[in-house]
Every structure is written in C-alpha cells, then in structure tokens.
Amino acid sequence: MRRRPGYFRVAAAVSAAMLRHSARNPFLPWILLAAPLTAWILVGRMEIPIHSFLASAFTWCIPTALVSGWLESAERERIALIIRGTRADSKSMHIPEILFPLAAGSVPAISMILSSPPSGGIPWQLWTVIFSSSLTAVSASLLLERHLGTGGYLLNLMGFMAQASRSSWAESWIFQLPVPQGYTLWTLEWSRGRATALHGDFYAFFSVIAGVGLTVLAAKILNASR
C-alpha cells in the first residue's frame, strides 16, 4: 500500500507555480513598484519612514502580486486537474495557495521591522496585524478579482495608495476601518508613538476579523474554481 500523499511536495509545486505565474503577470510591476512608489512619493507623506512604508508594502503587495490572475491561470488549472481525484485532493492545493502568499508577504515585512524596531520594542498588535493583513491581502485580492475583474485590481491598489494620504478624512476611523491595506502602516505609526485614528488594539482586532472573514469567503472561491 502507498503512504499518505506528499503534501509538502504538492505545496512546493503550488508555490513554484504561483511564483512562475506572478513573474509573467503584466500587472506585477504596477503592484510591486508603481503603486507603492506613487503612494509614497505623490500622496505627500514624506515623513513616513521608508522602513514602515516598505513593511506595509511587503505585507500587502507581495501577496497581491502572487494571487492576481492566479485563479484563471493555466498553472492552477493544470495542478487542480492533476490533484483532484488523487489521495491528496483539492484541499492540499488550497492551503499553500493561501499560506505561501501569506508567508511571502509577512516574512519580509517582519524582517524589515526587525531591522529597525520601534523604540519600545515590537508590540503584539504589530505581529497580529502583519500576519492578518497578509491573509487579508490574499483573500481580498482573490475576492476583488473574482467579482470585479480588472476593476478589482484598481480598487485594491487605490486602497493601498490611500493609506498614505494626509487628508483629514483619510485620518478618520470611518475611512480607515474599511481599508485593511493600511492596517500595518497605521499600527506601525501607533507603535512609534505617532497620532493615529485608532488605538493599535483596534487595528489588530479588525485585521483578524477581516483576515479570517475574507479567508472563509476566498476559500469558497478557491473551492468553486477548481
């Protein structure tokens, strides 16, 4: 009798396919470079430390770059065809589809923060927000793309660029709560003792709610599009 399926090999194949797919994605330079740079340079918030901004960009933009276009890609279609009907089953594909972009976004963000930690140390809220935001980035990008197509990319990137806005309305909690793209930056700002619309606890709480809630919805999309 054969043993259990090689889940790690399946996960490695899915991760490699996501990397290959994102490398060919025409939106990649926009997601990874143009949007964060535009946000940082043009929106007029030059006082934000580059480390904080990069951490925020890694948290959101890397997962977004990895999952954009992935649902309809030939790579995914082929892996799904191979895996379905085997002992591994489709779920062994869905887990790395979420966890790999999450890790690809949160690990560089944490490295960036560790290279220049806030003076009082890294608060627990920041750890929570980074992982939850990356999870939200994966799920939100999948959901926006599925329901809005190219408009979804635009909305996603606009949300990201809006986090650096200094308009008074952009600094109110009513604006900030529905924009999970900015949770990491605002929590970082809060941890560095700057004035933010909300306490770090709220960002952590809502990032977990958004991350878990949207992931449940995104998992349904992944299941349905196998």
Partner 1 sequence: MNSAVLLSTSELVIRKDSRKPLDLALLSGSMLAALGDETTVAPELGRILAGRSGPVSGRILPGDVSTIKEKADPGMTVGYVPGETRWPKRISVRAHLELAAAAAGYPVRKTTEAVNGMLEWCSLEDSGERSVTGLPREKQYLVSFATTCISVPKVLVLQGPCPTEVHELLEDLCEYGSAVVVCVPGIEHIPRGTDRVAVCDGSDVRKILRFEELAEASSALTRLRVGFLPALPREVMESLTGIRNIIAVEKGYEFLYASLSPTVTNLVNLARANSRSIVSLEVRPPTNAELLEYLTGKEDTGEANLFCEEDLDTSG
Burial 166-182 (b: 16+ CB within 10 A, else e): eeeebeeeebbbebbbb
> Footprint of partner 1 on residues 120-179 (CB under 8 A)?
none
Residue 28 CB, nearest distance to partner 1 (Å)?
16
Dihedral Cα 149, 154, 155, 161, nearest 10 deg? 160
Count, residues near partner 1 per rule CB under 8 A: 28
> Footprint of partner 1 on residues 67-96 (CB under 8 A)?
73-75, 77-79, 81-89, 92
CB nearer partner 1, residue 2 or residue 119: 2
C-alpha distances (whole Å) from 224 to each of 40, 46, 165, 216 are 37, 43, 37, 13
Residue 225 CB, nearest distance to partner 1 (Å)?
13
Residue 62 CB, nearest distance to partner 1 (Å)?
21
CB nearer partner 1, residue 84 or residue 147: 84
Name residues whose C-beta falls within 8 Å of residue 128's C-beta, 6 or more positions apart in sequence. Answer: 204, 207, 208
Is 32 in contact with 66 (CB distance < 8 Å)?
Answer: no
Q: How far apart are CA 40 and CA 74, in angstroms?
A: 34
Contact status: 199 vs partner 1 (CB under 8 A):
no
CB nearer partner 1, residue 6 or residue 117: 6
CB nearer partner 1, residue 10 or residue 185: 10
> Footprint of partner 1 on residues 1-40 (CB under 8 A)?
2-6, 9-10, 13, 17, 20-21, 24
Tokens of 216: 């449940």
Tokens of 41: 């340079």
- The contact set with partner 1 (CB under 8 A) reads 2-6, 9-10, 13, 17, 20-21, 24, 73-75, 77-79, 81-89, 92
